[in-house]
Chains A and B, each alone.
Chain A
Amino acid sequence: MARAAVLGRLTWQVGTVAALRDESATARTITVDVPGWPGHLAGQHVDVRLTAPDGYSAERSYSIASAPQNGQAGSQKLDLTVQRLADGEVSPYLTQTLEVGYPLELRGPIGGWFVWDPAGPRAAAPVLLVAGGSGVVPLMAMIRERAAAGSRTPFRLIYSVRDPGAVLYGDELAQREQAGDGLEVRYVYTRTAPPGSGQPTGRISAALIAAAGWPPESSPAMFACGPTGFVEAAADLLVRGGQNPGAIKTERFGPSGGQS
């Protein structure tokens, strides 16, 4: 159960942008300082609301990228990574206009289902994370939480991206993988593989899921996040590979591959 989710009714609150960091040509991480932030679980999201001077407002959900409390007790900062969509209503503002010091209205943390909790009842089960594009964001929170909590639960990440330039957190993932404490990362490039890698391009497949995932006998916990079509395909492949459908948790962004 989500500890942070039992505190009572949620209300909107205003945070302040504390830092900005570009993750790719079209994605940016926003560190928000939220007074009284109650903490969160890895995988939860927040709703962000923008309001125009004429009163028109738009809300979108964004996954939290940082581990709960960034591994530090009492921290009231959280990271959101936002993928810019060309025809988006909210994401262009968040990724291009927003500056450090700006206020940001949000409510959260939200959701007690798509979460990985190192203190939860299934914390020791091996974990398979399947990310399509910016669907990696809540899964990165789980990877960071695993490290922050000192967990040695084996994690495998299958990360599907269009091309190498679209990878988010690439350096950090490489470092964490090289630490050799039980995180393995497998990239799938749908259009362009890294030059000279000799890696084929293509979509996730049954063979890849079987090679880079876990056998059903190990009873893994599985989390898939990304565009709706990607997540449907990933969940189908897992079930056809013999995995327990009840152990597969999904978060779908809709058809566009992002929450505009």
Chain B
Amino acid sequence: MSDYMDGNMLGGALAELFSMDVTSATVTCVSCGASWAIAQTRVYPHAPGMVARCPACDAVLLRLVRGPDRAWLDLRGINCLQLAVPGS
């Protein structure tokens, strides 16, 4: 299966919601405990919305659905999101 893309492609949609670049953030997979930058996850953009999966165990890390005036962000597969906060 190679019908996925990188978490890099989530950057624009996430930058609409967050004030900093989330694709560089490190996440830990609830299912297997592996850590990744969001940019390294496998994104399947063909579902109604975008689904990011763990490259190691394939568990769903994140789902993002965007409507005309709202967004649904499901982070069920991530037990910690570690962000570098510039200037801190």
A interface with B by C-beta (< 8 Å): 1-2, 5-6, 8-11, 45-47, 59, 61, 107-108, 110-114, 227-229, 232, 249-255
Chain B residues within an 8 Å CB radius of A107: 12, 15-16
Partner of B21, one of A47, A59, A112, A232: A112
Chain A's closest residue to B2 (CB) is A228
- Neighbouring A residues of B13 by C-beta, 8 Å: 47
List the B side residues contacting A114 at CB < 8 Å: 6, 8, 39
| Known interface pairs A61-B8, A227-B2; 11 further A-B residue pairs with C-beta atoms within 8 A, sorted by A's residue number | A1-B21, A1-B24, A6-B19, A9-B17, A61-B11, A110-B21, A111-B21, A113-B38, A114-B8, A249-B39, A254-B2
Tell me the complex Cα distance, A253–B19, Å: 26
Is the CB–CB distance between A5 and B16 below 8 Å? no
**Is the beta-carbon distance between A255 and B3 smaller than 8 angstroms?**
yes
Q: How large is the interface on B (under 10, 10 to 19, 20 to 34, 35 or more residues)?
A: 20 to 34
Q: Is the CB–CB distance between A5 and B15 below 8 Å? A: yes
Is the Cβ of B86 less than 8 Å from the Cβ of A6?
yes
Are the C-beta atoms of A254 and B4 separated by less than 8 Å?
A: yes
- Tell me whether A1 and B8 are in contact (CB under 8 A): no
- Whether the pair B3, A10 counts as a contact (CB closer than 8 A) is no
Q: Report A-chain residues with C-beta under 8 Å of the C-beta of B2.
A: 227-229, 232, 254-255
- Interface status of B59 (Cβ within 8 A of chain A): no
Assess whether B31 is interfacial by the CB under 8 Å rule. no
List chain B positions with a Cβ less than 8 A from chain A.
2-6, 8-9, 11-13, 15-21, 23-24, 37-40, 45, 84, 86
A113 interface neighbour in B15, B17, B24, Cβ under 8 Å: B24
Q: Contacts A10-B15, A111-B23, A111-B39; is A251 near B6 (CB within 8 Å)?
A: yes
Q: Tell whether A252 pairs with B5 under 8 Å between CB atoms, given A6-B21, A113-B39, A114-B39.
A: yes
On whether the beta carbons of A10 and B5 are closer than 8 Å, the reply is no
Which residues on the A side are within 8 Å of B86 (C-beta)? 1, 6
Of all chain A residues, the one with the shortest Cβ separation from B42 is A252
**Bound complex: CA of A62 vs CA of B83, how far in Å?**
25
Q: Are A8 and B19 in contact (CB-based, < 8 A)?
A: yes
Q: 27 interchain pairs (CB within 8 A)?
A: A1-B24, A1-B84, A6-B20, A9-B16, A9-B18, A9-B19, A45-B12, A47-B13, A61-B11, A61-B12, A107-B12, A107-B15, A110-B8, A110-B12, A110-B21, A111-B21, A112-B21, A113-B24, A114-B6, A228-B4, A228-B5, A251-B6, A251-B8, A252-B6, A253-B5, A254-B2, A255-B3
* Complexed CA–CA distance, A254 and B39 (Å): 14
* B contact residues around A232 at 8 Å (CB): 2
A113 to B8, CA, bound (A): 8
Cβ-closest 10 pairs across A and B: A5-B21, A113-B39, A112-B21, A110-B11, A10-B15, A47-B12, A228-B2, A112-B24, A111-B11, A113-B24
